Amino acid sequence: MRSATCLFAVVCVCACRIIAFPSAAPGDDEWLPINPADLALKDNPASPGSHAMILYRQEFTDASNAASTEYYRVKIFTEEGKQQGDVEIPFVKGRDTIEDIRARTVRPDGTVIPFTGQVFEKEIVKAGGIKVLEKTFTMPDVQPGCIIEYKYKVQRDRDFFWNVGWSVQQDLFTREADFSIHPPGGAFAPATFAHTVGLGQPVKPEKQKNGDYTLVVHNIPGLPEEDYMLPKEMLRGRVEFIFKPATSSPQTSEEYWKQTDKKINDSVENYVNRKGALQQIVAAATTSSDSPEAKLRKLYARVQTIRNLSYEDRTNQEWKRQKIQENNNVEDVLKRNYGYTREINDVFIGLARAAGFEANQVLIAPRDQRFFFPNFQDVSELDDDVVLVKLAGQNLFLDPSAKFYPFGILPWNETGVTGLLINKEGGQFIDIPFPKSSDAVTERHATLQLGEDGSLSGTLEVHFIGARACALRSDERTDDEAGRKKDIGKEIKSWLPAAAKFDITGISGWDDSSAPLVVSGDLTISDYATSAGNRILLPFTPFIAPEPRSFQTATRVNDIYFHFPYQQRDDVSISLPPNYRIETLPQNLPNLASGAIQYTITPVKQASSLEVKRTFDVQGVMFPASAYSAIRQVFGLVKTGDDEQAVLQSAASAHQN
């Protein structure tokens, strides 16, 4: 469901049996009765001025069958609120299916209009080999005063066990919501624990006689959507369930992690303890004259030649046809030349140790998916890993299983997090630092010609460097050349005016993860410059920074979040029309040479051209909402600089003057 900004209200949460409404599964044709007072409702009394609100929501999760059912009842108040009739249900391709969709619109007079239209599917996110899709449909005849209702089932892959949680907070204000979960059953059923995140006060689901857990909540404020914010699923007020063996005795957090660490360390030691096979690889891949860093780089490169099965989306039948076998140790991985992400990193740990380095596994929770809470005592949150190697007494974090990332560069979601260091001592956490902005650079080189009619044409060459190139290679790895051109062309066009046309003529650097990814193309922009009598007003740069557009409102609720520090370096050369010269350039241009966000723009006047050099450097990742006013001012200066213009005058006019 699309978001609508709601005013915050006091949260009232209570745990009790579900008695307000009878259970209604999304597959049922019956709908819950509607209170006439809700049809007559003109506004949300708890959050006046809302465009829409959730009157009632119900969610039931069957953890044993990896399925959940969802039911929404939404009141529409305004014209803007009508967009709630465009329903979007996200799901992960290959993991989830959306089934049994039912929907209807109820007019203020009680007339019911069933949904009989089509359900479409579209891709919304493609990153790291994971595709997030949406089932979308449009409710019939949605008008202010209407109530819309829809229900559906989410079925996850039953071959795996999935973490379970309730997203209590939604984009819209929620008046009431009922949640229930049926935990895994059977003779060896685990114990169930619940933790509350982001609801402002503890929430405790109540266990029922049949073993289910239930919760009723009231008056939950909506989550405002703002650009450059943490993923909503990390910010939402929610309840997370953790399943542990029923025989487990209570432990302190320190005891839990110490014990867990030692168990995992024993497993890792057993998996990598193949000294003979590892030493043979070290001898073949390195020489005695290699420096320690050179040796480590060669071993990293050797490990990256192993086929990473985690990057491949195949069925069990396809694996069987390829005779994919389970690896029992690093020697199996090396012999068969395939393995999953953690197995490949374990090979690197073994090789590094065989070469004389201290190397250990570090388990992490990637920061594009979740925050890590050690007090939850849930090791399943740490579902990613990197390798810590000691090099010249310094900590070096590496991930050779990240196929498109060269030595020294981690995927951004593995940086800036706290991880569990796996060693025999047990229970030690370690911080993985954020990267530097110079690790993710975009260079844009434009050589352009200005026409007397104000049009601009020429060539544009973009260099994606470091982590920027790595992320593109990873995201586009399953696409062919046409798909790559389409996706990268779309990104480049987002930097340019709406009238711009950019045709890619070449892309190089796909196969070398340590080299820049270079995209070349032809750029044309009609009506780029503006005529003013005998003069032409020429904008400094054709590039439109997206950041200033995202920080225009006077206030902000959420913290500001950039995925990683990054740099932009622009060099724009514009040849002037014949018989035109630069008359004036603006003075006192913005110059932010220090601080977490830096910016410079420098025009250079040539005899027949204008050259503009621009740098933009975001060195931070997270900025508190309390700093919004200062951040907004910075991006206002960036927009001011980018919007500056040179004044051109015709030679004939200058001679007359």
576 in Cβ contact with 529 (< 8 Å): no
| Coarse DSSP helix, strand, coil percentages of the chain, rounded to the nearest 5 percent | 25, 35, 40
12-244 against 253-433: fold identical: no
Token pair of 450 as six digits: 């200005």
User: Domain 438-656, what fold?
Assistant: Jelly Rolls (2.60.120)
List of E strands, 517-606: 517-525, 530-532, 535-539, 560-561, 566-575, 580-584, 591-592, 597-605
Query: Residues 229-238, buried b or exposed e (16+ Cβ, 10 A)?
Result: beebebbbbb
**CA pair distance 201, 10, nearest whole angstrom:** 11
**CA pair distance 539, 459, nearest whole angstrom:** 17
Rg (CA), the chain: 29
**CA pair distance 503, 134, nearest whole angstrom:** 29
Pairing assessment for the beta strands 147-156 and 96-106 based on DSSP bridges:
antiparallel
**CA pair distance 445, 542, nearest whole angstrom:** 11
pLDDT of residue 524: 97
H-helix segments, 80-211: none
508 in Cβ contact with 469 (< 8 Å): no
pLDDT of residue 172: 96
Rounded to whole angstroms, what are the CA distances from 203 to 174, 295, 518, 578? 16, 53, 52, 73
Q: Which residues contact 167 (CB under 8 A, 6 or more apart)?
A: 233, 236, 238
Assign domain 253-433 one CATH number from 3.10.620.30, 3.20.20.70, 1.20.1050.10, 1.10.10.10: 3.10.620.30
- For the structural domain made of 12-244, what CATH number should be given? 2.60.40.3140
Residue 624: CB atoms within 10 A of its CB come to 11
* pTM for the whole structure: 0.85
DSSP count for the chain of H helices, then E strands:
13, 36
Q: What region does 19 belong to: left with phi over 0, alpha with psi -120 to 50, or beta?
A: alpha
Rounded to whole angstroms, what are the CA distances from 488 to 465, 484, 507? 14, 6, 10
DSSP 425-475: S--EEEEEPPPPGGGEEEEEEEEEEE-TTS-EEEEEEEEEEEHHHHHHHHH
Residue 647: CB atoms within 10 A of its CB come to 14
DSSP 308-354: EGGG----HHHHHHTT-----SHHHHHHHTEE-HHHHHHHHHHHHHH
pLDDT tens-digit profile of 41-73?
999 999 999 999 999 999 999 888 889 999 999
Using 50 as the pLDDT threshold, list the residues of the chain that sit under it. 1-28, 655
**CA pair distance 480, 336, nearest whole angstrom:** 27
pLDDT of residue 163: 65
Check residue 490 and report its DSSP letter. H
Q: Nearest CA to 13 among 196, 209, 260?
A: 196
**CA pair distance 609, 603, nearest whole angstrom:** 10
**CA pair distance 417, 290, nearest whole angstrom:** 32
pLDDT of residue 131: 72
Token pair of 373 as six digits: 């809470």
Is residue 422 exposed (0-12), middle (13-18) or buried (19+ Cβ within 10 Å)? Answer: buried
pLDDT of residue 652: 64
The domain segmentation of the chain, as residue ranges, is 12-244, 253-433, 438-656
Q: Is the dihedral of CA 408, 510, 417, 312 positive or negative?
A: negative
What pairs with residue 531 in β-bridges?
A: 536
For residues 260, 261, 267, 271, the Cα torsion angle rounded to the nearest 10 degrees is 150
